[in-house]
Amino acid sequence: MASTAEPKKKIAIIGAGLVGSLASINFARQGHEVHIYEFREDIRTAELVQGRSINLALSRRGQTALAAIGLEKEIVANSILMKGRMTHDLQGNTKEILYDPLHGQGLFSVGRKYLNEKLLNLAEKNPNIHMHFEKKLVTAKLDNGDLIFKDLKTNVDVKENADLIVGCDGAYSQVRAQMIKRPGFSFSQQYIRHGYLELCIPAKDGEFQMPPNYLHIWPRHSFMMIALPNKDKSFTVTLSMPFETFESIQTENDLLDFFDEHYPDATALIGKDRLLKDFFKSKPQHMVSIKCNSYNIGSKAVILGDAAHAMVPYYGQGMNCGFEDCTLLDKILSQSGITINDALKQFSESRWEDANAMCDLAMYNYIEMRDLVTKRTFFMRKKIDEFLHCLMPDTWVPLYNSVSFSNMPYTKCIDNRKWQDNIYKNIILVVCALVVAQFIILLYSYLN
């Protein structure tokens, strides 16, 4: 790996989650001294890990990042392949929708905690990486790298300094909060009116209760439920629907009636007692979509992952997109003679449009999963896409394939889809014109 033209830096990474852990490894491999600061306790020793526990869908972009640090094979081996979606209708009937019938590619369901632990373990082996847990960022002066943390064990403020501050501290990033105050920094956030609540389909007699190699979906037009398989033969279930629908369920009878009406087959899978316990033990969580431009402040600060581009989870690209941030930044920093300042500028300028595009795609996929998969037009389009992809595998790449099974820039994925849509429209116009012409010919023959 090529070295940078500048002396090695002291880098402070805020956040020891998935993206922060991966970023620390990449920076350390470049020879920099890396300090990771995390406000939570070490998840590897914590009895109860707070935060999101929704399963992750590992796809090509994430696999590429893990392969670069030698973890891909181990992670994939400890994940479950999901070769497609399986929809559940109101009568309990199921329908298989393969992601990639031509090549058999799929997504890998992997536990968030498991993957985070593996990344932290690998980071800990690098002598250039130093970990600091239960350190909450209080203030950050991005121009000079001064940082103040609250030590949550002692309740004492700790002052630190770094040449580069890397914000990997999630959708509610404190590093980004400092960037927002600066002129020229564009920022938008959008909360959707739908929330999510996590449930569980447990194993039965030590086995899965549903076919394991699928992402299961119960599409109900304005809301939905999904389930991803776990290695312990359970399924992590996510119920997504408008907050007003959640609020309409106040009693145990309300909940059981709601599931009997909308998810009758799921009630038996989850179990009534567990359903009641899991539903009422917590409140539905908000989902936010965040877009930024730019991602850096000179050579002093940069944001990655959800701190730069939080997205709703319905395309399974949040982690993959964050990992791709690390891959692209590492590639830029590896260029011979490049400075940190130029590398961060190049990363920011080349990345923000793609990440913003993925935020939009994630919003679209929620509509597809909860509603469009129930429509005949969706299956007709998918079958045509599959046929054309089989005929022209390098030319006609369906949108889902390009997003999940390639490293194609997200904006290019959308451009390809628009190009395909235009061809569809032209074909439809030609077919309609031929039908009308045939009708006119037949009518003329009849009248004469």
**Which conformational region is residue 243 in: left (phi greater than 0), alpha (psi within -120 to 50 degrees), or beta?**
alpha
Q: For residue 6, what pLDDT is reported?
A: 75
Average pLDDT over residues 53-74: 93
The percent of residues in the chain predicted with pLDDT above 70, rounded, is 97
Which one-letter amino acid corresponds to residue 186? S
Domain boundaries along the sequence of the chain = 10-80+109-188+287-367, 194-280, 376-447
Q: Tens digit of pLDDT for each residue in 80-122?
A: 999 999 999 999 999 999 999 989 999 999 999 999 999 999 9
Tell how many helices (H) and how many strands (E) occur in the chain: 15, 20
Average pLDDT over residues 333-361: 95
Q: For residue 443, what pLDDT is reported?
A: 77
Q: For residue 267, what pLDDT is reported?
A: 95
Q: For residue 54, what pLDDT is reported?
A: 64
Above 70 in pLDDT, residue 4? no
Q: For residue 51, what pLDDT is reported?
A: 45
Identify the band that residue 1 occupies on the pLDDT scale cut at 50, 70 and 90: very low
CA 308/CA 344 separation, integer angstroms: 13
Above 70 in pLDDT, residue 359? yes
Q: Tens digit of pLDDT for each residue in 10-35?
A: 999 999 999 999 999 999 999 999 99
Q: Tens digit of pLDDT for each residue in 140-190?
A: 999 999 999 999 999 999 999 999 999 999 999 999 999 999 998 999 999
> For residues 165 and 175, is the Cβ–Cβ distance under 8 A?
yes
Which one-letter amino acid corresponds to residue 49? V
Average pLDDT over residues 248-267: 96
What's the mean per-residue pLDDT of the chain?
A: 93
| Between residues 445 and 171, the one the model is more confident about | 171
Q: For residue 371, what pLDDT is reported?
A: 78
Cβ neighbourhood burial of 336 (10 Å; 0-12, 13-18, 19+): exposed
Which one-letter amino acid corresponds to residue 100? D
Terminal Cα distance for the chain, rounded: 81
∠ at Cα 237 (47, 231), nearest 5°?
A: 60
CA 68/CA 327 separation, integer angstroms: 8
Range 350-381 burial, b when 16+ CB lie within 10 A, else e: ebbebbbbbbebbbbbbebbbbbbbeeeeeeb
Q: Tens digit of pLDDT for each residue in 301-329?
A: 999 999 999 999 989 999 999 999 999 99
CATH number of 10-80+109-188+287-367: 3.50.50.60
The secondary structure of residue 109, as a DSSP letter, is E
Q: For residue 306, what pLDDT is reported?
A: 97
Q: For domain 194-280, give its CATH number from 1.20.1070, 3.30.160, 1.10.3470, 3.30.70.
A: 3.30.70
Average pLDDT over residues 434-440: 84
Identify the band that residue 440 occupies on the pLDDT scale cut at 50, 70 and 90: confident
